[in-house]
Structure formats: structure tokens, C-alpha cells
Amino acid sequence: MFPFDVILFDVGGVLLTNGWDHRERAAVLRQFNLDYDTFEARHAAPYDAWERGAIRADEYLDAAVFYEPRSFTREEFFAALCAQSQPLADGALGILGEVSASKKCMVGALNNEAREPNEYRFERFGLRAYFQFAFSSCYLGLRKPAPAIYRRVLDILGKPAERILFIDDREENVAGARGAGIRAIRFEGAGSLRPALEDIGVLEKI
């Protein structure tokens, strides 16, 4: 019997770049000649709300960037934000494709992401072709590694925790999943993930 009913992938840091982490924010801020420290001081609280789906993109941008007149538009800034999303070097997109194509289990996303970037990333990189469901923070109103998000996922899936595998690059998110009884692997590159999945019977050994 296949070892899992469901395999869940994080997106940023596993399949794609994080999209809007501190390095990517810094690159966009340089592009628009904005002060990094000032932006960071205003960014954190609205970004948390944006990732939980409590506000939309315009509200986040108003709070973090457009609280005063700018020489560029919201559309230009958001396009630069989206441009930070790229396939991750040594990422797991190929492995995701293999797991999905095998049709031996259900496959989904469990990720922290604001709605508009999440939908851009899913569309731009064709992720919906692989995912049967998306447990994104912007849809659930919860963020990893809060225990409540793992409980919500288990409630929705209706599967035993031990029949679910979760792959994430952050130790705190892996620990949160394990705390809920979910089998979890910390992603450190496709080169180490593949043999780990072969060892537990998810992928066939080459």
C-alpha cells in the first residue's frame, strides 16, 4: 500500500523562491529608491494581516508604501513584487510533478501566502495542475506554524495524521506539523529530498 493518502508541499522555499522575503523586499526597495528600515518598520503588521487574508493587496500597499505620494504606481510596485517569484534553484518542482503524475495519493499545498501573490504564483507556474487543494494562509485565515492551521487541515482532509506527509523548508513549520502527528520532512534541496522520498516509498528508486 502507498504510504500516504495526502502529500502537502510548501511553495516558497520548496518549489519557488519565497517571493517577498527580506532579500526580495530589499531588491524591490532599491529599484524604487525606498528606505529599507522605514519600509520594514511599516511592513510587518499589515503583511501578517495580508497573509491571513484579513486585508487585500491595496490595503497592504497603502500601509507599507503608499502612505505618501510616490513617483510610481501601485501596479508598478506590485509587478516588481511578483517578479521576485521564480522557480527555486534545486527546488522540488520536478518532484512535485512526479508525485502528482503517479496518481497514488492526493497532492496539495500548505503555504503562507497573501492572496494576490498566491494566485499569481499558482497561475504563473502552473501549480494548480498539480494541486487538488490549496491550504494557503490567505484562504484559511491561519499561518504556519500556529497549531490551529494543522488542526484545520486535518479536519478538512478527514485523514489520519500519520497518512499525511508535509514538506517544508522551515524547521518551525516542520515541527508544527509533527506536533499534530503529521509526518514531515524538512526540505534542503531536491538532491536530498528525492532519496528521502525513495526511502519511505513515495518515489521509486532510480
- In tens digits, the chain (206 residues) has pLDDT values of 899 999 999 999 999 999 999 999 999 999 999 999 999 999 999 999 999 999 999 999 999 999 999 999 999 999 999 999 999 999 999 999 999 999 999 999 999 999 999 999 999 999 999 999 999 999 999 999 999 999 999 999 999 999 999 999 999 999 999 999 999 999 999 999 999 999 999 999 87
Task: Name the residue ranges covered by the structural domains of the chain.
Answer: 6-18+87-199, 22-83
pTM, entire model: 0.96
Q: How far is the C-alpha of 122 from the C-alpha of 192, rounded, in Å?
A: 25
Distance of CA 188 to the CA centre of its chain: 15
For 121, counting Cβ atoms within 10 Å of its Cβ (0-12 exposed, 13-18 middle, 19+ buried), the class is buried
CATH number for the 22-83 domain, one of 1.10.150.240, 3.30.390.30, 3.30.450.40, 3.40.630.10?
1.10.150.240
Angle at 18 between CA 115 and CA 52, to 5 degrees: 30
Q: Which ranges constitute the DSSP H helices of 52-168? A: 57-64, 74-83, 93-102, 115-124, 137-140, 147-157
Instruction: Please report the pLDDT score of residue 73 as a whole number.
Output: 97
Q: How far is the C-alpha of 136 from the C-alpha of 18, rounded, in Å?
A: 14
Q: What does residue 34 show for φ and ψ, rounded to 5 degrees?
A: -105, 150
pLDDT tens per residue across span 32-59: 999 999 999 999 999 999 999 999 999 9
Instruction: Please report the pLDDT score of residue 206 as a whole number.
Output: 74
Q: How far is the C-alpha of 19 from the C-alpha of 80, rounded, in Å?
A: 10
Instruction: Please report the pLDDT score of residue 98 as a whole number.
Output: 97
35-71 burial, b at 16+ Cβ within 10 Å, e below that, comes to eeeebeeebeebbbbbbbbebebeebbebbbeeeeee
Q: How far is the C-alpha of 17 from the C-alpha of 125, rounded, in Å?
A: 12
Instruction: Please report the pLDDT score of residue 205 as a whole number.
Output: 86
User: CATH top-level class for 6-18+87-199?
Assistant: alpha beta
Q: What does residue 57 show for φ and ψ, rounded to 5 degrees?
A: -60, -45
Instruction: Please report the pLDDT score of residue 1 as a whole number.
Output: 87
Instruction: Please report the pLDDT score of residue 156 as a whole number.
Output: 98
